[in-house]
Structure formats: structure tokens, C-alpha cells
Homo-oligomer: A and B are copies of this chain.
Amino acid sequence: MISGPFIAVDWGTTNRRAWRIEGGVVTAEERDGRGVTSVPANGWDAEVAGLRDRLGDHPMLLAGMVGSTIGWRAAPYVPAPAGLADLAAHWLAVDGRTVIVPGLSTLAGGRGDVMRGEEVQLLGAAAAGLTPGDALLCQPGTHCKWATMQDGRVAGFVTAMTGELFALLRGGGILAAQLAGEVNAGAAFEAGVAEGRRRDLPAALFGIRTAKLLGLRDDADASSYASGLLIGADVAARLAETPGATVHVLADPVLGGLYATAIHLCGGTAVAVDSHAAFIAGITRLGSFLP
């Protein structure tokens, strides 16, 4: 395992988090809105130098969209099944002390899929014993990842653009005005999950409009219902492949709680996992592969 300190960065599209890690412990941390889309093409050296100015002149591990075609350097996807050692074997060394963690790809089940950044959290969860080595993991969000883990490695995965669909419906079209309110757990969310389980989104979504026109539901509940509909459709499709599965959910308590409710209503069992601890566990173990 690693002895010296290093810097770990989770560099996403719109946000960035960075940590100094020493002996497996976080000793400094920062987060900002300097996602990859805010960095000009000639600005990467300065960004990385800035991180070292603030967090120490240490080796650095960069994960997330920083390794995509819209990031600093493209680190090609590693095909699943893959574990932490595979990530380290294929990472992209920008220089002797700065490496970019590759994402994962899969072609299982006739569907292609990709992830970039989530793999550190998934593999960290298993490596640290936060989840079993063989398990179904879920990372809710704009692009919700569902990963099947085997022997602590990512065996396969599927991405559902559940959160993005909600954002698009809120941003325009016939439902936008109804979906301005906040999403809450409760009866309306659960009713949405029940409808979402029918996996008939094009019709179910129009039902939100109808409910307003016919006075079938308090329109203040429309956002919660819509969230339930989308999350329910996502969860139901996944649990159709593994009925009654236990799902380990890596998310903040609010979104994780909504997914847990939907998982229970769809016949599964949800277990909450500390997603931050999982990421730190994963990146720390990757750090041990640094020269």
C-alpha cells in the first residue's frame, strides 16, 4: 500500500472535488465548479498546478470526465469485467506523477454502455467491504448507473438517463409548468412508482397533464409523482432482470431514499451505502499503484 500522500480528483462535467489523501485518510479537501467544460483547452496545466499549490506538491490521480474527449486527455475505456488493478494497468500517465483513471465500457446483453468516474466508487465500495463482492449496485443521478459486481469487479452495467429525462420535462414542453415544484417522498411519489412499474412512460407522462385537466391529483404533487414515475420505470426495468434483488444504493440521503422507496415497491431490498466513503476507498487503493 501507498506510504506517501497523493491528490485525488473527481473531475466531472460541471463540478470538481479534490482531496489530499495520506495513509488512506483525507487530510485536505476542496470542491468547486471548475468542471471540465469550464477549462479552456490550454488551461489544464494551470489547473493542475493550482491544485498542487493548494493541496501539496504530490502525485495526482484524476478520475471522471477529465479523461473523456471533452476533458484534458482521452483515456480509452477499459472493457468490463474490470477491477482496480485493471484501471491502474490502463491508466493514462500524463507525466510521471499525474495519471488519468480510465472509464469502463461494456457490450454485455447486446447493449453497449460506458461510465467514467463512477467506476472508482463502485470498486471502492466492494474493496472496502461496504458492499459484498457479488452484488447489484445503483448510483442514482442524471445518468443513473446500475452495476453488477462479481468478485469485487464490475462485471457489467447499464445506464438509465432517468434524471436527465426529468430535467428535460421540467425545462420545456407541456408538463414544464406543472413540474416546477420540489420532489418529496410520500404518497404522490409512491403513486408515481406504481404507475412507472407499468413501464409505459410515453402514456404515463401524459397522464400528469390529464390529472391536472380532470382534477385527479393536487397539482402541487405533480413533481413528486413525475419523479416516482421515472424512477419507478428505471427500477422496474432493472429488477425485471433480477426479481427481488438486493440493491446497494450509493447516493445522498434524499435521492437515495427515493430510490430505496422505489426498490421496495418493486419487490427488491435497498441498502444505503456511503458513496463518499466508497470513492475515497477506491481512489486510495488506486493510489497504491502509483509509482
Interface residues of A (CB under 8 A from B): 77, 105, 107, 111-114, 143-144, 158-162, 164-165, 167-169, 171-174, 198-203, 205-207, 209-211, 213-214, 216, 230, 233-234, 237
Nearest CB on B from A99, distance (A): 21
Question: In the complex the two chains form, is A200's CB within 8 Å of B237's CB?
Answer: yes
Nearest CB on B from A211, distance (A): 6
Nearest CB on B from A205, distance (A): 5
A111 touches which of B105, B159, B207 (Cβ 8 Å):
B207
Q: How far is the CA of A144 from the CA of B201 in the complex (A)?
A: 13
Question: In the complex the two chains form, is B202's CB within 8 Å of A160's CB?
Answer: yes
Q: How far is the CA of A52 from the CA of B161 in the complex (A)?
A: 50
Question: In the complex the two chains form, is B210's CB within 8 Å of A113's CB?
Answer: yes
Assembly stoichiometry (copies): 2
A161 touches which of B112, B114, B199, B202 (Cβ 8 Å):
B202
Q: How far is the CA of A158 from the CA of B205 in the complex (A)?
A: 11
* Chain B residue with Cβ nearest A195: B111
Given contacts A200-B199, A214-B105, A237-B199, A113 and B165 within 8 Å (CB-CB)? no
Given contacts A159-B210, A172-B172, A173-B168, A202 and B105 within 8 Å (CB-CB)? no
Question: In the complex the two chains form, is B171's CB within 8 Å of A237's CB?
Answer: no
A114 touches which of B77, B165, B213 (Cβ 8 Å):
B213
* Chain B residue with Cβ nearest A105: B214
Question: In the complex the two chains form, is B159's CB within 8 Å of A164's CB?
Answer: no
Nearest CB on B from A176, distance (A): 9
Q: How far is the CA of A209 from the CA of B214 in the complex (A)?
A: 37
Question: In the complex the two chains form, is A207's CB within 8 Å of B171's CB?
Answer: no
Q: How far is the CA of A164 from the CA of B169 in the complex (A)?
A: 10
Given contacts A169-B168, A172-B172, A161 and B206 within 8 Å (CB-CB)? yes
Given A200-B237, A203-B237, 8 other A-B residues pairs in contact with their CB atoms under 8 A: A111-B203, A112-B207, A113-B210, A114-B213, A158-B203, A161-B206, A168-B172, A200-B233
Question: In the complex the two chains form, is B211's CB within 8 Å of A112's CB?
Answer: yes
